[in-house]
Each structure stands twice: as C-alpha cells, then as structure tokens.
Amino acid sequence: MIELHNLTLRRGEREILRGVDLSVKPGEHWTLLGRNGCGKTTVLEMITGYMFPTTGTVDVLGNRYGQVDVREVRKKIGYIGASLIEKFTLRDPVWEIVAGGAFAFLRMYEEVPVEVREKAYDELAKVGLRAFAEQPFGTLSQGERKKVLLARTIMASPELLILDEPCAGLDLYERERFLDSLAGLSVNNMSMLYVTHHIEEIIPLFTHVALMSQGRIVASGMKREVLTSEWLEAAYDVPITVEWRRDRPWIQVGKEEE
C-alpha cells in the first residue's frame, strides 16, 4: 500500500524529515501522531505526490514515485483535509457534491448519469445524511459537511484514504458521529492513514500507530505497542497516563498518584 524508505527532506539548513520509514499493508488502518511541526503533513504530501523527498523512496499502491504519473496514482487515493471544505460552493445541493467525487470534479457542469446520482444517495445514506441530499451544502453543520466529504471521497472507490485532522473544529457529538461514519465504511481492502492531535480519536477501527518527533518516526507498529506512556511522553514531552476503555485509548496528562 505505502512503503516509505529512508525519506529525508531538506529545506536550506533545515532537515524537515530525517530518515522516515513507514510500511502500510492492505487492510491496515494507521494513525499518525506527533507535535505541531514534526512533519506529519509533509509525510502526507509525499504520499500524495505533491512533495518529493531530498533522498529516499516513496512507493504507493505498487508505484514508485518518480517512475510513474502521480496523477494516475492520486485517482486511487481519497483525501480529506482541513482546507477541502472551502473548495465547495455552499449553494450546491449536497448530493451533487457527493456525485462529483465519481469524476473528481469540484462542480458538476453536465447532466449527472442516473446511476451516479443513485450511488451518491446510497453513500449519503451510509453516513446518515440521505435526508439532506437536496439541501444546499451551506445549510449543513460542520460535522455534516465533513461526512458529506467522506461520502464524496468514497464515490471514487479509493484504495487508500488519507484524513488530515478531519475532526478538527468538531464538537464531541459531531466528532463521534464522524468517527462512527468512518467505522461504518465497509470498503474492502481500503487502507486509511489518519492524522490527528487527539489520541482519543483512535477508534477500534485503527490497527496501527506511527509516532513522529522532529522529522523522525520514533515508534510505529500495532497501536497498543506504540500508545504507551513511555513513547507518548518521548514524543509530546509531557507526563502522560494512557488508559484503554472499549478498545480506545484515553489520555490523562500527569501521573496517577502512587
């Protein structure tokens, strides 16, 4: 799915990435964690082919970047990031925004084939928004808009889904509904890579975690092996207690009294 080997990125005197290795296999769902500025978005940009490493190799879905047309690879990658919502016209009906995902258009200019329209309705139903299909996008809450984008991304049947802080700005209720929708996607063999600042967003769906610090991946592997006090403290530089409840990690800053 994704094989990053010894990636470095230099900008002037600065080393933004310093020997990043990551291997994501089909069906695995990863979260990428680390402090502000540690290099998470840079890693995502290398995977989507918008940035190239100074040294190292990037293989995505069996394609070695530099030897293929990255635009072709990108067609198989779904991406949800913070700035995406702003690209859509608030007047457009929700179903059209979802349907556009089948063609990677931001707006529809032609008649939408009936089967595409039906599929858009189906995808909206899966995220619990079928009843909103005819409403203008701008009338939906932030959380509902994020779910519309999720439905839109799934229209293109991506093999890899990348989410960059999709729950940023959502209240607890909206966050949990979004995470439910994500967990409810039954897309065979699609892998996910999810960047977040909130460890409690690591729902049971996620299998693996990579922890970054200062341009390096300091720990990566099965989530329970990486989400330990020791590794999190090393990455975040604060005392942390981790507790698992219903297969989700919850964080307390500070140590329990002995």
- Rank residues 38 and 150 by Cβ distance to ligand ATP and give the closer one: 38
Q: Which helix (H) or strand (E) holds 245?
A: strand 240-245
Closest CA to 220 of 210, 212, 229, 206: 210
Q: Contact between 214 and ligand ATP (CB under 6 A)?
A: no
- Rank residues 38 and 124 by Cβ distance to ligand ATP and give the closer one: 38
Q: Contact between 101 and ligand ATP (CB under 6 A)?
A: no
Q: How many CB atoms lie within 10 A of CB 131?
A: 10
Contacts of 44 (CB under 8 A, 6+ apart): 32, 81, 162, 164, 193, 195
Exactly one of 1, 2, 4, 16 binds ligand ATP (CB under 6 A); that residue is 16
Q: Contact between 162 and ligand ATP (CB under 6 A)?
A: no
> In the chain, which residue ranges form alpha helices assigned H by DSSP?
40-47, 70-74, 94-100, 114-126, 142-155, 172-183, 223-226, 229-236
Q: Contact between 8 and ligand ATP (CB under 6 A)?
A: no
d(CA 187, CA 158): 9
**Between 29 and 58, how does the x/- string for binding to ligand ATP read (CB under 6 A)?**
-----x-xxxxxxx----------------
- Rank residues 43 and 240 by Cβ distance to ligand ATP and give the closer one: 43
- Rank residues 83 and 189 by Cβ distance to ligand ATP and give the closer one: 83
Which residues here bind ligand ATP, judged by CB under 6 A?
11, 16, 34, 36-42
